[in-house]
Structure formats: C-alpha cells, structure tokens
Amino acid sequence: MTIHEIKCDQRFFGAIVDGTKPFEVRWNDRDYKAEDMLLIHETRMEASPRHADMARRVLTGRSVQRRVTYVLKHEDFPEGVPEGWCVLGLSDRAAR
C-alpha cells in the first residue's frame, strides 16, 4: 500500500469529505493501485502579492484521507477515459 499526497481544489474538496463525490479523476502520473491511500489537501486560488493580475494555488490547511477502491484506466475503457488519465474509486473506510 502506498500513500499518495495530492491536491484538490476547494470547489470539489467538500464533496469528497461528505462522500457525495466517491471518485477522483486524475492525471495518471503515479502508479495508483486499489488499497492505496490518498492524503488529499484542499487548495484555493489566491491573488499573487507581487503580481495583481496573477493568481497562485495555496493550501488551506484542510486535508482528508481516502482509500482507493478501484482504478479505471484508459487501457481498461479507452472510449471513456482519455489517454494518460484515470478514475479512482474512493472509500472513507481504512485500508484492509
């Protein structure tokens, strides 16, 4: 089992916390596997202090842990998952 630390925009974070979004669509840049854990950090956009016309992503300090229950990859469903992406099924139950 691997623990992956990832970031999530605050628009979606609350739905992961309350369980109404039991999945995560991610660029498949890691070797995600069922039973891995995600440590998901909430982020928000904030105006850059040096450049008024630019924004940056910052951590809010909130995080939640979820277990990966299923990994759907492009190779499994090429007509539904774009190449390079995956859909992770999530559970709030601890890893077995």
Average pLDDT on 12-28 reads: 97
Predicted TM-score (pTM) of the model is 0.87
DSSP state of 42: E
Which pLDDT band holds residue 7 (cuts at 50, 70, 90)?
Answer: very high
pLDDT per residue over 35-89, tens digit each?
A: 999 999 999 998 877 777 788 889 999 999 999 999 999 999 999 999 999 999 9
pLDDT above 80: residue 25 = yes
* 3-47+55-91 to CATH, choices 2.60.120.260, 3.40.50.720, 2.30.130.30, 3.20.20.70: 2.30.130.30
pLDDT class of 96 with cuts at 50, 70, 90 = low
Give all strands (DSSP E) within the chain, no chain letters: 3-9, 23-27, 37-47, 55-73, 85-91
Residue type, 31: D
